[in-house]
Structure 1
Amino acid sequence: MTQDIYLTGITTTGTPHIGNYVGAIRPGIAASKDPSKQNYYFLADMHALAKAEDPEKIARSTLEIAASWLALGLDTSNAVFYRQSDIPEIPQLTWILTCMTAKGLMNRAHSYKAAVQANEENGSSDPDKGVTMALYSYPILMAADILMFKSTKVPVGRDQKQHVEMARDIAGRFNHHYGETFVLPEAEIDGNTATLAGLDGRKMSKSYNNTIPLFADEKRLRKLIMKIKTNSLEPGEPKDTEGSTLFDIYKAFASNSEVSEVEQLYANGIAWGEMKQKLFEYVNEHIKPAREEYQRLIDDPTVIEQELKKGAERAREFSVPYLEQIRHAVGIRKLG
């Protein structure tokens, strides 16, 4: 039986928050320690350029995200951890795939359609106003990320499933035209992955500015948790765990027995201030050891750079000969 190859990309456009941790980082790190799986994890800094972010912000985000994964225990001896821009074969493959991609396929991309819809709703005479080629065609770059390492499984949220399907379409068209070259990947969607609400009750997201940074210091972590929106029920009144942001965050970190204890506290009418303090203390103790390692890595980024270089070297042991095979298939060959 052929071993599955998993690939996960992390866009470098912000500071990791606790929603990222429970939804992607924690399960990703657990998978990195599984010798039965072959895992690739990459910092998608080229994708970050598509959002026209501030250069300093992209650089800082790259540092913070890499430090977070390493501090939390990513097993780089078992998994390949690299920076997208350190693999020059990826942009080369992106152009080759672009030459095989139908414009109609890109027209159906959710992000492009959303941009067009927004322009229409705003009364713009140009449906493509503000749409860059990076936004329009970034599913092709994503396809190159996936196909470059013959990924068979791509863990994604439901909103990202279309990108994997597009990668399959592009790969299939290439294979039909040039012969069997690419593996057709499959999206892997974990319905059990926790999605946390943020400070205001909406999904925790950088775009809503309602996040709790994963490695906020103790003072800031407590301040943010104390800001979490609750209802007006008084102490002593029974409270429902359903829809409670405080409870959902606690549940994402705690054991089953600890969750059961808090469920009883809710039934007994725990005061919101008391619950917020309890949540702060629990999350803080959970994160504290990794926070110290995170700060050590932030203070000495050369350690992170060395890890990323090692990862790039391992990745290129595969990508260099594979790209040569792809180039040969399309007719870009040495003449003698």
Structure 2
Amino acid sequence: MTKATVLTGITTTGTPHLGNYVGAIRPAIAASKDANVSPFYFLADYHALIKCQDPEKVRQSSLEIAATWLALGLDTSNAVFYRQSDVPEITELAWMLTCVTAKGLMNRAHAYKAAVAENEQGGENDPDKGITMGLFSYPILMAADILIFNAHKVPVGKDQIQHIEMARDIAGRFNHIYGEHFVIPDAVVTENAATLAGLDGRKMSKSYNNTIPLFEPEKKLRKLINKIKTNSLEPGEPKDPDGCTLFGIYQAFARPSEVDEVRKLYADGIAWGEMKKLLFEYINDHIAPARERYEALLQAPEHIENELQEGAKKAREISVPFMKQLREAVGISRIGA
């Protein structure tokens, strides 16, 4: 039986946080050990350039994200783990796809429409002010990421479903013109994926500057957890765990029996300071072994680079012959060959 190819990209624009871990990293690493699938995970460093023009930040983020995945036990014997920029066939394919993609399709992309709407609401005469072709063409590069390996399934959040639909449209258009070359990918949306609230109660996100970095040192982790916003209920007053940031984070890490015990503590009126202490100790114990591996990996960047180069080698064993086939299909080949 042919294995299903599953592909996930991680944009290199920040430090992984607890929300990234429970929502995407933890399930992806578990999937990397599944012998029934062929998983591809990549550092989306070209995507990072769309919203980050700080070279050092992109470099540091690439290091931290790669170290995070390896420290948490990514199985690189089964999964292909690579850097997007190390597979030049991706950007070559992106141009081929650009040449068959209708501009009208890109006009409908949510990110582009949101940027235009922001300009219009701000009273700008030019609705495209400040919008780069990188932002406008982002869905085409994402389609190339997926189609170069003929991924069957692409796990995404609800906000990314449109991009998979666009990749399907683009693949279908290319197939119609040049013959059947691409698998039509499916979006995989995990409805029960954990979404954590951040320090201020909103969704944990770099955009809100409310994150708790996954491998924050012990003292800083304690300080951040102590900063989490709570209500004014006093010790001894019953508290509702649902909708509480502290409980939500605890629930994402703890076993069901432990979650039930903490629910009882809320009903009994646990003090916020006591709950923050309990949460800190639980999270710290959970991540301490991986944090130690992470710190060791940061001190050995050559090991990380070797892993990425090995992954790129495996990726290009697929992408190079496939690109040769695609060049032939579109009429780009040696004369007389």
TM-score, normalised by the number of residues in structure 2:
0.99
Cα deviation per residue 1:4-44 (whole Å; 9 max; x = unaligned)?
11000000000000000000000000000110111000000
Per the alignment, in what secondary structure is the counterpart of residue 51 of structure 2?
coil
Residue of structure 2 equivalent to 1:332: 332
Cα deviation per residue 1:269-303 (whole Å; 9 max; x = unaligned)?
00000000000000000000000000000011000
Per the alignment, in what secondary structure is the counterpart of residue 9 of structure 1?
strand
Mapping 1:183-198, distance limit 5 Å: 183-198=183-198
Residue of structure 2 equivalent to 1:306: 306
Residue of structure 1 equivalent to 2:279: 279
Matched, 1:49 2:49: yes
CA distance in 1, matches of 2:51, 2:248: 31
For the Cα contact (< 8 Å) 1:13–1:53, is it kept in 2?
no
Mapping 1:34-73, distance limit 5 Å: 34-73=34-73
For the Cα contact (< 8 Å) 2:32–2:39, is it kept in 1?
yes
Residue of structure 1 equivalent to 2:116: 116
For the Cα contact (< 8 Å) 1:151–1:183, is it kept in 2?
yes
CA distance in 2, matches of 1:95, 1:74: 31
Per the alignment, in what secondary structure is the counterpart of residue 187 of structure 2?
strand
CA distance in 2, matches of 1:3, 1:316: 18
For the Cα contact (< 8 Å) 1:63–1:301, is it kept in 2?
yes
* C-alpha displacement of 1:167: 0.3
Residue identity over aligned pairs, in percent, reads 71
> CA RMSD of the aligned region, Å?
0.6
CA distance in 2, matches of 1:53, 1:193: 31
For the Cα contact (< 8 Å) 1:297–1:304, is it kept in 2?
yes
For the Cα contact (< 8 Å) 1:153–1:186, is it kept in 2?
yes
- Equivalent residue pairs, number: 336
Residue of structure 2 equivalent to 1:175: 175
AA at the equivalent of 1:104: G
* C-alpha displacement of 1:53: 2.9
Cα deviation per residue 1:134-177 (whole Å; 9 max; x = unaligned)?
00001100000000000000000000001110000000000011
Mapping 1:75-114, distance limit 5 Å: 75-114=75-114
CA distance in 2, matches of 1:327, 1:66: 32
Per the alignment, in what secondary structure is the counterpart of residue 50 of structure 1?
helix
- Structure 1 unaligned runs (5+)? none
Residue of structure 2 equivalent to 1:248: 248
* C-alpha displacement of 1:52: 3.2
For the Cα contact (< 8 Å) 2:52–2:58, is it kept in 1?
no
CA distance in 1, matches of 2:100, 2:311: 29
AA at the equivalent of 2:83: R
For the Cα contact (< 8 Å) 1:16–1:213, is it kept in 2?
yes
CA distance in 2, matches of 1:152, 1:268: 49
CA distance in 2, matches of 1:2, 1:310: 23
AA at the equivalent of 2:54: D
CA distance in 2, matches of 1:271, 1:166: 49
Runs of 4+ in 1 over 4 A off after TM superposition: none
Residue of structure 2 equivalent to 1:166: 166
- Structure 2 unaligned runs (5+)? none
Residue of structure 2 equivalent to 1:259: 259
Residue of structure 2 equivalent to 1:224: 224
Residue of structure 2 equivalent to 1:130: 130
* C-alpha displacement of 1:334: 1.9
Cα deviation per residue 1:185-213 (whole Å; 9 max; x = unaligned)?
00000001000000000000001000000
CA distance in 1, matches of 2:53, 2:151: 28
For the Cα contact (< 8 Å) 2:67–2:304, is it kept in 1?
yes
Per the alignment, in what secondary structure is the counterpart of residue 303 of structure 1?
helix
Residue of structure 2 equivalent to 1:2: 2
* C-alpha displacement of 1:3: 2.1
Q: Report which stretch shifted further, 210-219 or 50-59.
A: 50-59
CA distance in 2, matches of 1:37, 1:240: 41
Per the alignment, in what secondary structure is the counterpart of residue 74 of structure 1?
coil
* C-alpha displacement of 1:242: 1.0
Cα deviation per residue 1:52-110 (whole Å; 9 max; x = unaligned)?
33000000000000000000000000100000000010110000000000000000000
TM-score, normalised by the number of residues in structure 1:
0.99
For the Cα contact (< 8 Å) 2:8–2:40, is it kept in 1?
yes
For the Cα contact (< 8 Å) 2:13–2:52, is it kept in 1?
no
AA at the equivalent of 1:85: S
Per the alignment, in what secondary structure is the counterpart of residue 40 of structure 2?
strand
